[in-house]
Structure 1
C-alpha cells in the first residue's frame, strides 16, 4: 500500500499506515495484494475508511430493508464494508474474481503476524454487519473461539448481490470470529517475529478498530467518585461517552440494553466493551477538516513558518492569536469572536445523526479579509461547528435512551485546550482527559495484556490501567451558554437551508 498523507510517508514495519482502520483489504490465494483501484496498481489494495466511492451502492443496500440494517442505525454508510465490496464487484470484476480474502486492515495485520485468520468481533460487528449478539448466550469472553460465523446473515448478502461471499462457510470474510484480546494461533510466527524484532510465540490478541481501542484505553478513567453515590460501576460506565478525536471523531457510549437510534451506528453487541451494547456516533472529518481549513488559507504558509520557528504547533499559535484578538476587541469571552461566522462542518458528509453522506460543508460570514486574524476566526468557528455536531449527537442519543452526562476525550485533537474547552462549554458536560496521552496505544496494549493472560478480561484490564488526568469543566457564565445556544440554533438551521437549496436546484434540473 502507498503511504498516506497523515503519516507523511512514515509507515509501520508492515508498510501500512497506522491511521487507516477500519479499511477493506483485498488479497489473493497466495496472500498477495489485489488492486481495488481503477489503475490496477496492486499496491493500492486497501480501501481507506473515509473513501466514499460507494454512495450509490450504500443506497442500493439500504433499499433492501434487511433486518441487519437496524443494527447500523437503520442504514449502512458508504464507509462500511458491504457497500465498498459491492462497488468493487460492480466496477472491478477482475479484482473481484481474484480476491481470496477480504479483511479489515487490523485483522490483516494480526493474520500477517500469526497466520491465524480469526476475525475481530469489533470490526466484523461494527463495519461488516456480523450479528455478534446471535451468540451472546452461547459464548463468553473467555471461550470466544466457539463463536462461529453463523452470525453472518446469509440472506442479507444474497439480497444485496454479494451472495458469493457466503461460499465456503464465509471463507472470504471470516469463518471464525473472536472477542478482541483473544490469543491468536501460537503467537508471532518466526518470520513476523524476526521482522518486528520480537520473540517468536509472543502472544497476539485479536484486534480492535483504532478508535474503539481508544475507547478501551479511556472508558474507565474516573475523575474521583462521590462516596455517597450508590451508583454501581455497571451504571456509571453507561453514563459516559468517549470522544476519540483524530482525523475524524468517533462518539461511543455503551448500554446494557440495545438502543436503536436512527442515524447512529449500532447497537453493536460487544463492539467495544465486552458484554455491552455499543452506540457509535461519528463525524467523518474533524482533524482533517481543521487541516483543510488552515492549509487552504492564504495566510497559512506564513503561520506555519512562524510556528515552526518557535517550535510550537500551528494550533498553539492560532490560539495565541485568538487570545490577543479577544483583548484587543474587548470581547466578553473568546468564543464571542465568531458571532458573524458560522460553519456547517459536513465537508465529508454527515455520518451522525443525520446520516447523509451527500451533505456538504457551509461557511457563512466570509469577507475579503485574508489576514492571519481572519484565519484564526475561521479556525475557531470550525472548532465550534465540530463541537455543535457533537452536541447534536449527544442530544440525539440521550433522546433515544442513553443518559450520557460525562464525556471522555482522547486522540490528537484532545491535546488542544481550546478544542476541549469549546466542547465542554457547548455541550455543557465535564470532559475527562486521560492520564495516558496515547489512549489508542493503551487500548492496544490492553488487548495484548489479555492475550498474554496478564488480565482475565478486557474489563479487568481497563479498570487496572485506565486513569484520569485533567478534567475540563464547562463555563458557568450564563452569557457563554446563551451565546452557544444561539449559534447552535443557527448551526441546526444551516442543514435545513441546504436541503431547501437541493430541492430548488433539483426542480430546476428536472
Structure 2
C-alpha cells in the first residue's frame, strides 16, 4: 500500500520499455522498480549498504535454507522479470536455473543499472518455479530457531515461495464442486473460467489463461507466476478490508458500536450485518442491498489499481446526511461493501472484454468470512462464488509448495487437484429486481470516476 514512489513510477512508465507490456502497460508505484528508485534517490547511504533486495517470501525461504534462489512468482509479478524468457532458457539449457529473464536495458534506462552487477546478484541471479526444493532443505540453524514452536528438523524440504495472495490462489483455484460423473483430472480449460478473489486488507483478482492476454490496466500477463505453465492475469483493489476499517473507525458512532459488539461477544461486522437485517425488515425493503438506494461509494480511497491503473484516483461518498447514528453507519458500511463489489465487477467485465471467459469466482481471505460481503459480490457480479472447504487458503497454498518440494506430489497442479476442496457455494439472487437495482447502481459507480476525471481536468486548468 506504500505509494511514495508515484513520481518514480511515472518516470519509469515514460520509457516505453517492452517489459511494461507484461504489467498491464504501466508499472504501479506498488511494484519494486519504482520503490527501489525511490530508495536510491532518497536514502543514498542505505542504498550503498544493501547486500540483497528481496520480497518477504524470498527472504523467509533464504533464511530457512541459505539458498538465494528467488521465486518466479515474486520476480515476475513485482520486479518485471520475464518468466516466458526464463522458460525458453530452461528448455535450451536443460533446466539451468540461472536467471535470464531480466531486461538489462530497462534497468539501465530507469537509472538502476547497478542492480545488474554480479549477474543480478542483488535482485536474483537464480530464479525457480514455486515448489522447487531449495538447497539442502531447512538448515540446522533455522531448525534450531524454530524447533521449540514447530518441531521441525534440519533437512526438511523447503519449496520456493509464492506471494501471500498467490499462495491463496493455489490454495483455492481447484476448490470447485465435482460430481461423481465428472473427471477429477486437471482440466486445462475449466480452470481458465475461474477468478480467485483473495480478500483481505486489499483484494487480488487472479485468473489464468493458456494464451497470453494483454489487458490495459490489469497486471500481467505473467508466465507461470501462480499456476505453472499458465499465464496469470492479476487485477486488484489497493484498499478493501482497510477501507471498511477506515469507514467504520472514523465514524462518530464507531466507539459505541464497538462496545455493543464486545458486550455481545461478536465482531463489529457481525453487529452491522444484524443492524442491516433488522432495518430491512423494519423498512419493508425487498432485500438488504436496496437499503442504499441513495448512497453511492467509489472505493478508490487509496487509488485505483485496476482497471484504470490510476494511483491518483480518490474515493467518493455520495449521499451523506447529518445523521450520526449506528443505522446510518450501517448504511455507509453496506454502500462501501457494494462499491468494492462494483469495482470487482468492473475488473471482471474488463477481463472478459479482453479475452477471458470468467463465469465462476472463488473467494478466500478474511473478508470472505463475511456473508454480506460475499452475497453482495455474488448479486452484483452475477456469478456464483465458491467458498473453499479450507478457509485458510493462503496456508494451504503454502503447504502445497512444501508437499511438492518433498515430492509428495509431482507438480503444483497435481497437488492443487488433490488438496483443494469446495465448501459452500453462494449464488446470485434469482430475483430480477436485484439485478435491475445493481445494474443501476453500477452505472452510477462508473459515472463517479468519470466525474472525478472531469473535476480533475477543470482544477488542473484553473491552476495552470
**Same fold (TM > 0.5):** yes
Alignment of 1:263-342 (within 5 A): 263-342=217-296
Unaligned runs of 5+ in 1: 1-49
Greater shift after overlay, 366-375 or 188-197?
Answer: 188-197
- What are the superposed Cα offsets for residues 426-467 of structure 1, whole Å, 9 maximum, x if unpaired? 000000000001000000000011111111111110000000
- Distance of 2:78 and 2:6 partners within structure 1: 15
2:123 alignment counterpart: 173
1:253 alignment counterpart: 207
Residue 224 of structure 1 and its aligned partner are, at CA, apart by 2.7
Residue 230 of structure 1 and its aligned partner are, at CA, apart by 13
Work out whether residues 186 and 417 of structure 2, in 8 Å CA contact, stay in contact via their aligned partners in 1.
no
Q: 1:113 to 1:245 in 2, by over 3 A?
A: same
Residue 333 of structure 1 and its aligned partner are, at CA, apart by 1.1
1:348 alignment counterpart: 302
Where does structure 1 differ by over 2 angstroms across 4 or more consecutive aligned residues? 135-140, 224-232
Work out whether residues 101 and 171 of structure 1, in 8 Å CA contact, stay in contact via their aligned partners in 2.
yes
Residue 326 of structure 1 and its aligned partner are, at CA, apart by 0.6
- Distance of 1:224 and 1:249 partners within structure 2: 27
Residue 203 of structure 1 and its aligned partner are, at CA, apart by 1.0
Work out whether residues 145 and 177 of structure 1, in 8 Å CA contact, stay in contact via their aligned partners in 2.
no
- Distance of 1:452 and 1:371 partners within structure 2: 56
Work out whether residues 189 and 201 of structure 1, in 8 Å CA contact, stay in contact via their aligned partners in 2.
yes
1:498 alignment counterpart: 452
Aligned pair count reads 459
Residue 139 of structure 1 and its aligned partner are, at CA, apart by 3.2
2:41 alignment counterpart: 90
Residue 74 of structure 1 and its aligned partner are, at CA, apart by 0.2
- Distance of 2:170 and 2:155 partners within structure 1: 25
Work out whether residues 119 and 125 of structure 2, in 8 Å CA contact, stay in contact via their aligned partners in 1.
yes
- Distance of 2:129 and 2:107 partners within structure 1: 23
SS at match of 2:232: strand
2:64 alignment counterpart: 113
Higher relative contact order (CA 8 A, sep 6+): 2
- Distance of 1:186 and 1:135 partners within structure 2: 23
Work out whether residues 80 and 128 of structure 1, in 8 Å CA contact, stay in contact via their aligned partners in 2.
yes
Residue 107 of structure 1 and its aligned partner are, at CA, apart by 0.4
Which protein is richer in helix relative to its size? 2
In the alignment, structure 1 residue 481 sits paired with structure 2 residue 435: yes
Residue 226 of structure 1 and its aligned partner are, at CA, apart by 8.9
Alignment of 1:34-433 (within 5 A): 50-139=1-90, 146-197=96-147, 198-225=152-179, 227=181, 233-433=187-387
Residue 229 of structure 1 and its aligned partner are, at CA, apart by 9.5
Work out whether residues 273 and 459 of structure 1, in 8 Å CA contact, stay in contact via their aligned partners in 2.
yes
1:16 alignment counterpart: none
SS at match of 2:198: strand
Work out whether residues 144 and 182 of structure 1, in 8 Å CA contact, stay in contact via their aligned partners in 2.
no
Work out whether residues 77 and 355 of structure 1, in 8 Å CA contact, stay in contact via their aligned partners in 2.
yes
- Distance of 1:400 and 1:136 partners within structure 2: 25
1:11 alignment counterpart: none
Unaligned runs of 5+ in 2: none
- Distance of 2:402 and 2:183 partners within structure 1: 34
TM-score, length-scaled by structure 1: 0.88
